[in-house]
Chain A
């Protein structure tokens, strides 16, 4: 079956530090990959996506590249801000499963 493994948190960084959150996946076929962000007390918001190998998704300074050879979709940001503090979820969609499969989430806290 499909699965997503995320780097365990929590992650605490100082403002302007470099961020990497690792994500690897197992899936049948050719899944689409997503990063969602959840702010306290809210639902999930789509952050970025990639639909095929070597695609790079980007949004708000965040980037992730779909690496088929390593089955990875690591999230990166060059300089984090306090406002980036949230829980980040890696997810995949496979047509055979017809649903999004989520990782367990990574709590990020950015200190001023």
Chain B
């Protein structure tokens, strides 16, 4: 049973370009979370999605960032017009139900974004 798959593992973008990060949840999981990890810091929540719905995007910057989880295909985190401060590791996690007591989150290996 494959785990949470994220790609690419490493992504280099120049300032002003767009970054698209993909996440395929574990089989049978319909809840997806995105977290950002800045160097020497912990993980910060960005967004929580279910299929075709954004449930909580309170951690997502208001501009340039968007996320989707379509009925078919992976979840996508999109960052438009990237800036150097967007350089970080972006982790996706999934769970079969709303994460918490009975459904610990399963994490992917992350996408490390570098903005030059």
Instruction: Give chain A's interface residues, CB within 8 Å of chain B.
Output: 6, 32, 34, 36, 41-46, 49, 51, 89, 93, 95, 98-105
Can you show 10 pairs from A to B with CB atoms below 8 A apart? A32-B101, A44-B93, A44-B107, A51-B101, A93-B99, A98-B48, A98-B56, A98-B100, A102-B43, A104-B42
**Using Cβ atoms and an 8 Å threshold, which residues of chain A touch B93?**
43-44, 100
Which of A34, A41, A43 counts the most B-chain CB atoms under 10 A from its CB?
Answer: A43
Q: What is the CB-to-nearest-CB distance from B33 to chain A, in angstroms, rounded to a whole number?
A: 7
Q: Does B45 contact A (CB under 8 A)?
A: yes
Q: What is the CB-to-nearest-CB distance from B14 to chain A, in angstroms, rounded to a whole number?
A: 24
Q: How many residues of B sit at the interface, in one of the four size bands?
A: 20 to 34
Q: How many A-B residue pairs have CB under 8 A?
A: 60
Q: What is the CB-to-nearest-CB distance from A101 to chain B, in angstroms, rounded to a whole number?
A: 7
0 or 1 for each of B87-98: is its CB under 8 Å from A? (1 = yes):
000010100001
Q: How far does the alpha carbon of A42 sit from the alpha carbon of B9 in the complex, in Å? A: 10
CB pair B104 A46 closer than 8 Å: yes
A interface secondary structure, majority:
strand
Q: How far does the alpha carbon of A44 sit from the alpha carbon of B55 in the complex, in Å? A: 22
Contacts beyond the supplied A45-B107, A98-B56, A105-B42: 15 A-B pairs with Cβ under 8 Å? A6-B42, A32-B101, A41-B109, A42-B109, A43-B4, A43-B6, A43-B91, A43-B110, A44-B91, A44-B107, A46-B106, A49-B104, A89-B43, A98-B100, A105-B41
Q: How far does the alpha carbon of A78 sit from the alpha carbon of B106 in the complex, in Å? A: 27
